[in-house]
């Protein structure tokens, strides 16, 4: 299990193995979420990079007769 230490300036360093696994580079924006008793860091993705990440999803919407 990897661990980090909080510096006196409340900074942490993401371990190299995690950075490489998640392709996190310097300057990358991460969203910080406090959830229950933990902190989650989620990469902020642009809409262009998210395009097609749910292959096979049916995007057809069933409309009511008066909405066509």
Q: Tell me the C-alpha distance between 8 and 16, whole Å.
A: 21
3-state secondary structure of 16: helix
pLDDT tens digits, one per residue of 5-59: 999 999 999 999 999 998 999 999 999 999 999 999 998 888 888 888 888 888 8
Per residue in 33-48, pLDDT tens? Answer: 999 999 999 988 888 8
Residue indicated by tokens 């490489």: 20
Query: What is the SS3 assignment for 42?
Result: strand
Note the pTM of the prediction, 2 decimals.
0.61
- What are the boundaries of each domain within the chain? 26-50
SS3 47: helix
């Amino acid at each position: 299990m990897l661990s980090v230490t909080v510096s006196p300036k409340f900074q942490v360093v993401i371990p190299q193995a995690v950075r490489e696994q998640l392709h996190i580079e310097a300057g990358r924006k991460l969203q910080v979420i406090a959830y229950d008793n933990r902190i989650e860091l989620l990469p902020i993705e642009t809409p262009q990079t998210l395009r097609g990440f749910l292959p096979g999803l049916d995007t057809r919407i069933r409309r009511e007769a008066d909405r066509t």
